[in-house]
Amino acid sequence: MEGDRVSYHKSVRAVYDRIKQDGMESIWDRFEAQGLGGDPDKRCPFCMGGVRCDFCSNGPCRADAAKGKRGVCGITADGMAMRMMLLRNIMGASTYHYHTDQTVKTLRATALGRTPFKIQENEKLRDFAGRLGLTRRTYRDLALALCDFAEADFNRKADEPSRIVELIAPQERKDVWRKLGIFPGGIYGEMMRATSSCLTNVDGDYVSLALKAMRLAVAMAYQSQIVNEYCQDILFGIARPHMMRVDLGVLDPDYVNVLPNGHEPFLGFAMVQLARKPEWQERAKAVGARGLRVIANIETGQEMIQRWETDDCFYGFTGNWIMQEAVLASGCVDLFACDMNCSMPVDPLYAEKYRFKLVPVSDLVAFEGIKDRIDYQPDMAEEQASRLLQMAIDNFAGRRKNVKPVTALPVSEAVVGFSTESILQALGGSLEPLLDAIKGGTLRGIAGLVSCTTLRDTGQDVHTVRIARELIKRDVLVLSMGCGSAALQVGGLCAPEASELAGPGLKKICQALKVPPVLSYGTCTDTGRIADLLAAVSTALGGVPIPDLPVVAAAPEYMEQKATIDAIFALALGLYTYVNPVPTVTGAPRLVQLLASDCAGITGGLLNVEEDPVRAVDGMLAHIEAKRAKLGI
């Protein structure tokens, strides 16, 4: 693998060459080795079709819909594929909610004065709590009431309707979900119900399993994602636009570089607060470094850079998860602090080779051979952050002496920090200018790009950048979330000058508002936030149903289990949903028919899996134009 088949980014390709020279195995080597017949993308056809099962001792089984071949238990190819998709969704929901659980614990401990954090957004606290019917005299009491309310709702049984969904979701969607029997209860109850349904000889009906997946996805989006992000806003600040250094050039080998990695920002923010104190900078200089820096990384980094501005202590952002080995092989890392997601099992080999400290900071994470760990506890956050920074400082001299760094890597700037609030502020406090631009045709529509990054079919971020460039060229505003945000930040599409790549209407708006054509809207957990934004757009247009809006969801490089439940939620919300690579359901023809066609008449959502980027955007634009015609705009 070489060139664009490795990565869209020159920086990653440069360090990939270093990895090969060092004789280290990388994700690109391992991906290629999994292919059949010399083709890295060719895999077992039954696995690729989603029709292989090893749940019980009668298997592994393979199903073949064309031949009427079922599993030993009698499950069809469609049931087999949808059951596996539902199980992936359960894993995605569980890890999303683990993050939310930690956020609520942190908000509670902060309200009680037991963390190094302060509630930054009292008005957001009041507004969000108000939407849930909560009122208290003090912000402290209001934060505690919010935590109590959220945790009580999480713990409702599956047959006890969620109050959070009832109070936040649009009425039109709630009516649809009740009609279909997918209005959810509490997230824990829904996960148990869905998991139990996947046992051998329980639920083999692909339609029933698909509806259970949608029900779980609705619970996850409102209880996990929205609660998580809004509580993080309350704690650490609402995202507001600012410039951020991006790409591997943010790593300077002469500094002590600490990289919080994963999805939870708590210890990352705690370390930034300490690193900004002169005494910590002096400690770093005492061991021969020019200073101490916290470098944002992957989704933990996205959470951080969306909310806090850069300085010489919180210096910049590297990129998304596939470039992890390139980050670690740069020879510039002193400590890699791994929270609950996106740290690779191979990292200990890189820690040994490139002399950095590898420390799990979540009880979910473990590595072979790594004994150091600091499991995050909100009331110990400052002490834990201090230990991590000191470990990095103690590591510096050995790393600097023994590891030759890769230097002269590129660095650029991106505008980050867009949120519903900051978009409204840029528009003068109202959605009307945006809606007028859509009604008048200056903007054709909006795409929520909620994506991971993968090596399937193309190199890292290649397909994501192609899709985004094609969308903005056709006057579609892109709101980017997840690892896809990093692709577009490092790829240059979140810079103001990228407006030159946009169509005439979008270019005009970007230049008037001084914003890029791709708005960096957050992490994968912000899928729920965009659902809330679409509900506001629906209301502002007089109650237009969400499926009738000129909007699409796009996941050009979905990768893991959290992405699959995001896609199912988008379908439940009623969105045209583009995903790539082709999901592992092609061996299940009735399931494909359900997701890619019949679903439009059920929830209003529709799945598209076109592999060619131009034809994929053709499909998205055709949908947008059809919705514009229906609305008479």
Percent of the chain with pLDDT over 70: 100
User: pLDDT band for position 136 (50/70/90)?
Assistant: confident
> How confident is the model over 199-221, as a mean pLDDT?
98
- Asked whether residue 525 carries a pLDDT value surpassing 90, the answer given is no
Tokens of 472: 């903005």
- Asked whether residue 60 carries a pLDDT value surpassing 90, the answer given is yes
- Asked whether residue 527 carries a pLDDT value surpassing 90, the answer given is no
Long-range contacts of 611-614 (CB under 8 A, 24+ apart): 611/457, 611/580, 611/581, 611/582, 613/463, 613/466, 613/467, 613/470, 613/556, 614/470
- Asked whether residue 487 carries a pLDDT value surpassing 90, the answer given is yes
What would you report as the CA-atom Rg of the chain, rounded to the nearest whole angstrom?
A: 24
- Asked whether residue 208 carries a pLDDT value surpassing 90, the answer given is yes
User: pLDDT band for position 526 (50/70/90)?
Assistant: confident
In the 8-state DSSP scheme, what is residue 430?
S
DSSP collapsed to 3 states, 225-236 = HHHHHHHHHHHH
pLDDT at 281: 98
Q: How far is CA 176 from the centre of its chain?
A: 27
pLDDT at 181: 98
- Asked whether residue 427 carries a pLDDT value surpassing 90, the answer given is no
Q: How far is CA 29 from the centre of its chain?
A: 25
- Asked whether residue 301 carries a pLDDT value surpassing 90, the answer given is yes
Helix (H, G, I), strand (E, B) or coil at 496: helix
List, for residues 378-394, the tens digit of each pLDDT value.
Answer: 999 999 999 999 999 99
- Asked whether residue 429 carries a pLDDT value surpassing 90, the answer given is no
Provide the sign of the torsion angle of the four alpha carbons 624, 625, 631, 633, taken in this order.
positive
pLDDT at 90: 98
pLDDT at 338: 98
| Whether the predicted model's global pTM rises above the 0.75 cut | yes
> How confident is the model over 439-468, as a mean pLDDT?
97
- Cα gap 510→516, rounded to integer Å: 6
- Cα gap 121→235, rounded to integer Å: 7
> How confident is the model over 524-539, as a mean pLDDT?
91
> How confident is the model over 445-450, as a mean pLDDT?
96
pLDDT at 252: 98
- Cα gap 583→585, rounded to integer Å: 6
Give the ranges where 491-587 is alpha helix by DSSP (H). Answer: 504-513, 527-540, 561-573
- Cα gap 116→598, rounded to integer Å: 51
- Cα gap 407→520, rounded to integer Å: 28
List, for residues 114-123, the tens digit of each pLDDT value.
Answer: 999 999 999 9
CA distances from residue 618 to 445, 611, 613 in whole angstroms, order as listed: 13, 12, 9
List, for residues 582-615, the tens digit of each pLDDT value.
Answer: 999 999 999 999 999 999 999 999 999 999 999 9
pLDDT at 363: 96
> How confident is the model over 208-232, as a mean pLDDT?
98
Q: Which helix (H) or strand (E) holds 415?
A: strand 412-416
> How confident is the model over 158-176, as a mean pLDDT?
97
> How confident is the model over 323-335, as a mean pLDDT?
98
User: pLDDT band for position 155 (50/70/90)?
Assistant: very high
Q: Closest Cα to residue 318, out of 340, 295, 336?
A: 295
CA angle 84, 191, 90 (to 5 degrees): 35
User: pLDDT band for position 3 (50/70/90)?
Assistant: very high
Q: Closest Cα to residue 411, out of 215, 203, 249, 217?
A: 249
Tokens of 55: 């749940």
Q: Which helix (H) or strand (E) holds 445?
A: strand 445-451
- Asked whether residue 426 carries a pLDDT value surpassing 90, the answer given is no
Tokens of 412: 């650029």
User: pLDDT band for position 61 (50/70/90)?
Assistant: very high
What is the chain's mean pLDDT, rounded? Answer: 97
